[in-house]
Structure 1
Amino acid sequence: MMQVTEIKAEGLARQFRIQVPAADIDKRVQNRLRELAGQVRLPGFRPGKVPVAVLQKRYGAAAHGEAVEQALDESSRNILSERGLRPAVQPKIDIVSATAGADLEFTLAVELLPEVAPPDYGAITLERPVAEPADAQVEETLGRIAETFKGSRPLTEDRAALPGDIVVVDYVGRVDGKEFEGGTAQRAEIELGAGRFIPGFEEQLIGSRPGEDRELTVTFPEAFPAKDLAGREAVFSVHIHELRESEPVLIDDSLAVKMGLDNVESLRKRVRETLVTRLSEASRMRVKRALLDRLAEMYDFDLPQGMVDREYESIIRQLAGEEDAAETADQADAHAHDHDHDHAHDHDHDHAHDHDHDHDHDHAHDHAHVHGDADPGHDPAHAGEAAAQPKLTPEQAAEYRSIAERRVRLGLVLAEIARTNNLQVTQEELSRAMVAEARRYPGQEQNVLKYMRENPAMAEALSGPILEEKVVDFIIEMATVTDKAVTPDELLKPEGDDAPPSSDQPKGQPAGTAEAGSASTEP
């Protein structure tokens, strides 16, 4: 009979010493050998007639290894199940002795999920900002859409270039007298005053005339993406070919047709619907954020350090990935100058959506990660995954760990609410999420879908956010929520404006895309 001794019970940590009788292991070995007897074929023996002794000699060691693995798995599960223990992460098993013919001895260390009481939903009071798009906002959006479709025409008036004009030029840039990659262009169209080129470049073209040559001296910004040019002085030899003026596009039926719609009223309706959707999403994000903040205030309990460690490592991996992506994008931008320089048309023309939409970022603390019981037989963490570690100050590391603790705590709260109220992700919801994810990879949709269906970890990753939203909706429905009318600008205003940095954003770490990284890398 298996012997189990609890040798540690501190907080959420439990540790057991387990001894499985040698007879139990031997029984498993013999059962495995009998299975092999009907499967293997050996010279000199008829199928199914290979003596067990022969099998023991040839396959005994492998069968014993399988028997030990099976005993470890079953024993661990039974110990947890019989005691009603819910592991937070995969339990750790250390084998003390697994010699053939002797008892199997091992230790089992596990961190438990904490007990989480459901909240008093009625005591949760939330304010939900709501807004309706004003006519002026609709017209402003239409104006921005028309701006992206505007063309240009040759300037017929004989005069020098003025702000707002489009100057068609060739240019060659040099640093210390040497040309640099990406510093040359032919017939580039530069809208004076648009601010798309490095400071000082456009300004020095004001007053120029067709046929004129100019030498422009500029200094690349310290934060310029191409590190070898950042902060360096450069001289550009510029030849002016012609002057052009913008040709605005009217907000009329022809603009709507360019957008794939019947008439301007259909376009105006589409824009309004898009703004309504955007405002609704912003409203929900604000009330969700307020809810998570309220839950964070209501709960304070010990956390499984394994879960916190895993979440912290996930944050660091994400940060490292973002830094790598930003560096790659910077390098690509710095060297990708052989493209069309007609910036008046360098836009995506699907503009029924308002493009001024970087107002309501999904902050780090809005992801609570609903946690369920850990599967003792499967570690969903990225075991052995090596990730480049970003350079963090001790202060930043402490703040990121605080974010990890908040996420884990909120995730456990939401998971318990989901469990006690039988909130689940349906197969239909999961399938829709898989299809949506697969669409992010045009041409590879079927391969991506196949991969996701064959990998349970992918389904888990997709179902987590869905369940989180369902739990949030459930709590909001039960809570006391008061709508507060605000203007669209107030609703869409970044929460970081006129406010201290988010507690989830470590000091010295950029909150989103850096200004330098989003600026044009063209001169």
Structure 2
Amino acid sequence: MQIKETTNEGLARAYEVTIPAADIAARVDAEVKKIAPQVRMPGFRPGKVPENLVKKMHGEQLHAQTVNDVIRESVDKVMQDKQLRPAMQPAIDLKEGYEEGKDAVLTIDLEVLPDVDAPDIEGIKLERLTVPVADKAVEEALGNIAGQQKSYKDAAKSKKAGDGDQLIIDFTGSIDGVEFEGGKAEDAPLVIGSGQFIPGFEEQLKGAKTGDEKTITVTFPEDYPAENLKGKDAQFAVVVKQVKVEDETKVDDAFAESLGLESLDKLKELLRGQLEQETNGLTRTQMKRQLLDRLAAGHDFPVPQKMVDAEFEQIWAQLQQEASQDENPEKAMKEIEAEKDDYRHIAERRVRLGLLLSEIGQKNGVEVSQQEMSMLIQQAAQQYREEDRERFVQYVQSEPMAAAQLRAPLYEDKVVDFLFSKAEITEREVTREELEAAIEADEQAEAEAAKKAPKKAAAKKKAPAKKAPAKKEAAKDDKPAAKKAPAKKAAEKKPAAKKPAAKKADADKKPAAKKAPAKKPAAKKAPAKK
């Protein structure tokens, strides 16, 4: 086997590998000898089929499988001999024109991981902004809960229903005089103005009094879930059994007990704990940004562009999704398009920080245990329907990339916590508004820092060889971009080459990526809710 390096610029590497036809033929002959004793053919005793007949029967398949095997072995040998650390899966291609009896020539294109020097983690200084939870904040939270737990009391019979009033009604729906399924209910509560029923229903009940009987005509929306009701005109015979008005909610021990707590004091204690947890999360976010800014400021090494492209694609996909849900999607899309280059700079910064954090974690023995990984998988499985959870677990366990995506954020958090433990931290008390403003300022600073970061020229000299590292975990930088999976070592999952011929064995086909089980769809709206 001959290996020729064709590219060595910056992090880009490319090789041309020639596998002699004689080596392939020898491998095929060895396979024929191996399977000959098991071949059965009419007219021959078991195990006595001549090798030339075995080769005639199975030679094409054996040849295709052998080519695939030697390609994979050749790729492994290149990675080991050249001591390469692939950033992502190498691109493997068998040159056109190959056929049995000829040398096999394949190309290997990849980017390698940069050499990253773990920084000095001693002497890092950080400021923790703390927000004490005031009694006023607890009372506001308590008031919000009380506002959500509305209660109603019977109104006078002369009371005409208006916005915010609750009606207790019986109704029967029909189309062209024929009742339809799901269009009937008794003692159904309806708050005027809540949008609980289909458009037009509630509006026609304004002014109704206890004991009134009304016939309401409405049109079902064109996008209504039930096919037999889409766009149809319907009539509802409604009996107003009671008009109710909102009653004042007393925030006392009885109110707390209605929520499943022992007393009002216990409810306040719970709310205070929730508020503290929330502000602690914001404090951590701001501290983490400080830390990453300091790391980013001191390191500017080249990063694999394919990793940057993958990170950018995830950021961009989320931005597009958010823009599509904006009140003015076209305007939102124009705004993010104008800042597209900035987001690419951010993607590059995140990849660089991810590699840096990974190096710190490896040098200091930070790991995600098997028990922690099992818990992550089980927690992620809960978002799927019960019947799909086991399939999801099997999917993650069989797909290293899927497992890496789950592991990445936890690994990063553990590295960050390790760095916090080594840092010199001072505390400063601020308001929640000041803390949120500091986080927003850090976000803007991140974009500006990424945008102004100098571009390093790609090194022409070959980087010194190093041992292949453990998997890399990438940073999400506390931003909502999708999490990146780490680069794999070549030995973990060998890349399949492109098919040299139409009849090549199935083992030569690159498998399609498996899809995770579909999430359970949201429940559809009933014709008229009870």
TM-score range, shorter chain: 0.5 to 0.7
Aligned to 2:102: 102
How do 1:75-474 residues align onto structure 2 when only pairs under 5 Å count? Answer: 75-96=74-95, 98-156=98-156, 244-319=244-319, 326=325, 394-444=337-387, 445-474=389-418
Tell me the SS of whatever aligns to 1:14: strand
Tell me the SS of whatever aligns to 1:133: coil
Aligned to 1:55: 54
Q: Distance in 1 between matches of 2:413 and 2:427?
A: 20
Report which structure shows greater RCO (CA 8 Å, sep ≥6): 2
1:259 deviation in Å?
2.2
Q: Which range moved further: 42-51 or 150-159?
A: 150-159
Q: Distance in 1 between matches of 2:239 and 2:436?
A: 42
Q: 1:267 to 1:464 in 2, by over 3 A?
A: same
Aligned to 1:28: 27
Q: Distance in 1 between matches of 2:19 and 2:168?
A: 84
Q: Distance in 1 between matches of 2:294 and 2:26?
A: 56
CA RMSD of aligned residues (A): 4.8
Tell me the SS of whatever aligns to 2:40: coil
Q: Distance in 1 between matches of 2:292 and 2:169?
A: 54
1:319 deviation in Å?
4.3
8 Å Cα contact 2:286/2:438 also seen in 1: no
Tell me the SS of whatever aligns to 1:503: helix
Aligned AA for 1:117?
Answer: D
2:427 to 472, 478, 483: 483
8 Å Cα contact 2:361/2:367 also seen in 1: yes
Q: 1:499 to 1:415 in 2, by over 3 A?
A: closer
8 Å Cα contact 2:166/2:192 also seen in 1: yes
Q: Distance in 2 between matches of 1:195 and 1:433?
A: 39
Q: 1:161 to 1:502 in 2, by over 3 A?
A: farther
8 Å Cα contact 2:157/2:210 also seen in 1: no
1:500 deviation in Å?
6.3
Aligned AA for 2:447?
Answer: S
Q: Distance in 2 between matches of 1:207 and 1:12?
A: 75
1:123 deviation in Å?
5.0
8 Å Cα contact 2:160/2:207 also seen in 1: yes
Aligned to 2:518: none
Q: 1:146 to 1:499 in 2, by over 3 A?
A: same
Q: Distance in 1 between matches of 2:259 and 2:301?
A: 54
Q: 1:191 to 1:128 in 2, by over 3 A?
A: farther
1:52 deviation in Å?
2.0
8 Å Cα contact 2:303/2:352 also seen in 1: yes
8 Å Cα contact 1:279/1:492 also seen in 2: no
1:274 deviation in Å?
2.0
Tell me the SS of whatever aligns to 1:6: strand
8 Å Cα contact 1:209/1:240 also seen in 2: no
1:208 deviation in Å?
11
Q: Distance in 2 between matches of 1:483 and 1:86?
A: 42
Q: 1:49 to 1:491 in 2, by over 3 A?
A: farther
Q: Distance in 1 between matches of 2:87 and 2:425?
A: 33
Q: 1:450 to 1:7 in 2, by over 3 A?
A: closer
Structure 2 portions without partners, runs of 5+: 171-185, 213-222, 225-237, 449-479, 482-530
Q: Distance in 1 between matches of 2:435 and 2:243?
A: 42
Seq. identity, %: 37
Q: Distance in 1 between matches of 2:334 and 2:70?
A: 44
Q: Distance in 1 between matches of 2:334 and 2:34?
A: 55
Q: 1:466 to 1:58 in 2, by over 3 A?
A: same
Tell me the SS of whatever aligns to 1:121: coil
Structure 1 portions without partners, runs of 5+: 171-185, 213-224, 227-238, 331-389, 505-510, 513-523
Q: Which range moved further: 79-88 or 247-256?
A: 247-256
Q: Distance in 2 between matches of 1:25 and 1:398?
A: 49
Per-residue displacement from partner, 1:442-479 (whole Å, max 9, x unpaired)? 42333332333233332121111111111111222223
Tell me the SS of whatever aligns to 2:366: coil
Aligned AA for 1:45?
Answer: F
Aligned AA for 1:429?
Answer: E
